[in-house]
Amino acid sequence: MARGWESKDVESRIHDANDRYLHKVDMPTPEERARITKLHLLEQQQARLRNEMGQATSDRMLDLVRRELAWVEDHIRQLK
């Protein structure tokens, strides 16, 4: 009877180890999390700049927003 319990304990440990491995594989690396965060922030900035383009009151301001938007979109392409 002791062997039965021992086998179940070993089986349980193997199952737990497999679960930990699977969860670890699904988690992004710190570098990937940083990339995702930066991409998300750039996309928010892109939306803000597009909104500002519609509200620009002078050609100078519109040119400034367009240049900044081009910079943001270039960085977004690099991160994707």
Cα separation values, 61 from 37, 47, 50, 57, Å: 28, 17, 13, 7
What's the number of domains the chain is made of? 1
Amino acid found at 26 = D
Q: Which domain holds residue 19?
A: 2-79
Cα separation values, 8 from 5, 17, 18, 19, 74, Å: 5, 14, 15, 16, 56
Total Cβ atoms within 10 A of residue 7: 10
Comparison of pLDDT for 3 and 19, the residue scoring more = 19
pTM of the model: 0.65
pLDDT in tens, 6-50: 666 677 777 777 666 666 667 788 999 999 999 999 999 999 999
Query: What is the chain's Cα-based Rg?
Result: 25
pLDDT at 51: 96
pLDDT in tens, 52-79: 999 999 999 999 999 999 999 999 999 9
